[in-house]
Amino acid sequence: MRALLVWPKFDSFSFWNFEKVCELAGVKYMTPPLGLLTVAALLPKDWEIRLVDENVRELDDADYAWADIVLVGSKIVHRKRALAIIAKARGLGLDVVVGGPDPTLSSHFYLEAGANFLCLDEGEVTVPMLLADLARGAKGGVYRSDRLPDLAESPVPRFDLIDHREYLYIGVQYSRGCPYHCEFCNVIDLFKNEYRTKSLDQVLKEFDLLYSLGYRGQLDFFDDNLVGHMKDVKPFLRGIIAWLKVHDYPFQLSTSVTLNIAKDPEILDLFREARFKYLLVGIETPDESALRSAKKPQNTGFSIAEAANEIYTRAGCTIHSGFLLGMDGESDDIADQIIRCIDQACVPWVMAGVVYPLPGTQLSKRLDREGRLFPAARFELADGVRDQISAGIQFKTQRPAEDVLRDLVRVMHHAFDAENYFQRCADVAVRLNTVPVLMPGGRIFARNVRTFLRLCVEMTKSPTTRGPFWRALTKVVTKNSAGVEALATLAVLYVHFQSMLPYCYEKLAEQQAALAEHGEEHWLAKNLREPEPRSGSKSLPVVAQAG
């Protein structure tokens, strides 16, 4: 059997597609599709496998002609392209299997596109069900499972199927799920609020494979929350540290965590020793009333600024963080609160937006029950929206919509003003207690030097960034040269932000203009109106389900 595994192209114009960063670094895309690489490892050993990541190269007719079966992975941002791939493959008479987060939560789109096999939920359970049916000659099926697999069942991903030189970094996974209950996050719906981990031995086998393939550089733990069980993660981190020491630190690490790690000095020390460089931390809002309303109490009861400083000065990591507006219970001065929080906590990279009711989340379900969810957001990103920032408002907010949008634009202008941005970057880099990893490998070192020189040219060309960048660099070089690595990374990211912000501001301005023209009452009535029922929509028969 010849299996063609396809990862659809990410929309080439989205806030979350870092094309400019990749261009500066001289690579084709940010990171390979870890989910599909794991699925590839679950397939029979005697199958021939070809993986096409459309973000790296085009899927062409020769690929379809080679294949006996096509397996397509999809997130919500890939849906449009994934549906086109399914339609073409089915038109050529090929069987098509589809799976991933979006098919799991919004299966009907893929069924209607013609996919004859839907392999949903977690592949460690449903891929064997699919393979059993294929062996019996089945021509279609929908496979679901209420059973969450023990991650001991998860194989080492097929990293040999990709050319790591084409990517900025590689993803690995230690855990799935999160023990918390934040209602705006779809992780708890995908993974039923269960938190599971791989063993240290499993993860080290993945490290060994990547090392043997010649990979050096950044490894990102794609975990939704690496420290979901703080007690268990400590011996795991010690094992990682031991491996890194033996291999002379070929990798530097990044991941997602909760802000309350700042309460545990031992965790912070282990993060520094393991050479973690970047942490994605969901601050969301400094308004504790809004946090409790969103079921995120783990961020309450302590100073955000002090917690961030502990991470900088003890763990040696920079923080990338999201801030959400439009949350139920937030105060009228939320923009002032967020701006103070950004400055006091000195968060360089800020992802600000109106909270988005992602399909399948507890937030989406609650807003739907309350008659507050815009139908356009019920199953997908609203029409014409490429990301959650430019989406603006997609439900009836408690505060006036005009105020929420005005506050969002104000926060974004403050966060991404070049002077403000580079001042925060410099302040963080100066206090960053990090261990530089300058030589993870000759190729990566050369790439980093080349990227830094390109960055300096890019920053100098623009009158907006010229002064702020060079002042920041001078400050860091003179006060804490170990922080230059972090400053350079944050400056490269600003090139991406510059390219995307005009689009985001334009889409938000369109929503503001519609509100001003029609008034909030009529604008809400229009957006809350239910569409006409779609004709010919297919139901989703489950032909195989594991309990």
What are the CA-CA distances from residue 274 to residues 59, 201, 219, 240, 243 (Å)?
38, 16, 12, 7, 10
What is the pLDDT averaged over residues 277-289?
93
What is the structure's pLDDT at 345?
96
How far apart (Å, rounded) are the C-alpha atoms in residues 128 and 133?
A: 9
Which residues lie below 8 Å from residue 539, measured CB to CB, with a gap of 6+?
A: none
What is the structure's pLDDT at 187?
81
What is the structure's pLDDT at 382?
47
pLDDT tens, residue by residue, 396-408:
999 999 999 999 9
How far apart (Å, rounded) are the C-alpha atoms in residues 317 and 314?
A: 8
What is the pLDDT averaged over residues 419-435?
96
Q: What are phi and psi of 327, to 5 degrees?
A: -75, 145
pLDDT tens, residue by residue, 407-416:
999 999 999 9
> For residue 357, which of 348, 343, 369, 341 has the smallest C-alpha distance?
369
Does residue 439 have a pLDDT over 70? no
**Cα angle at 37 between 34 and 39, to 5 degrees?**
110
Does residue 358 have a pLDDT over 90? no
> For residue 497, which of 461, 530, 538, 464 has the smallest C-alpha distance?
464
CA quadruple 296, 300, 303, 309: dihedral positive or negative?
negative
Cβ-based neighbour number of residue 468 at 10 Å: 22
Does residue 536 have a pLDDT over 60? no
Give me the domains of the chain, ranges plus CATH numbers.
2-146 (3.40.50.2300)
Percent of the chain with pLDDT over 90: 77
- Could you tell me the pLDDT band of residue 444, with boundaries at 50, 70 and 90? confident
> For residue 176, which of 119, 115, 126, 124 has the smallest C-alpha distance?
124
What is the structure's pLDDT at 121?
92
What are the CA-CA distances from residue 298 to residues 257, 315, 356 (Å)?
12, 20, 20
Percent of the chain with pLDDT over 70: 95
What is the structure's pLDDT at 3?
98
Say if CB 22 and CB 166 are below 8 A apart. no
What is the structure's pLDDT at 499?
87
Does residue 546 have a pLDDT over 70? no
| CA count, 13 A, side-chain hemisphere, 423 | 11
Lowest pLDDT segment from 129-138, 153-162, 163-172, 175-184: 175-184
Max CA separation in the chain (angstroms): 69
What is the structure's pLDDT at 455?
95
How far apart (Å, rounded) are the C-alpha atoms in residues 105 and 192?
A: 13
Query: Which amino acid does the sequence have at 8?
Result: P
What is the pLDDT averaged over residues 248-252?
94
Does residue 437 have a pLDDT over 90? no
Bridge pairing between strands 175-176 and 170-172: unpaired
pLDDT tens, residue by residue, 32-87:
999 999 999 999 999 999 999 999 999 999 999 999 999 999 988 888 999 999 99
pLDDT tens, residue by residue, 95-141:
999 999 889 888 999 999 999 999 999 999 999 999 999 999 999 99
What is the structure's pLDDT at 441?
74
Does residue 381 have a pLDDT over 70? no
What is the pLDDT averaged over residues 508-515?
96
What are the CA-CA distances from residue 338 to residues 291, 380, 463, 497 (Å)?
13, 28, 28, 19
> For residue 187, which of 24, 75, 107 has the smallest C-alpha distance?
75
What is the structure's pLDDT at 237?
98
pLDDT tens, residue by residue, 219-236:
999 998 999 998 999 999
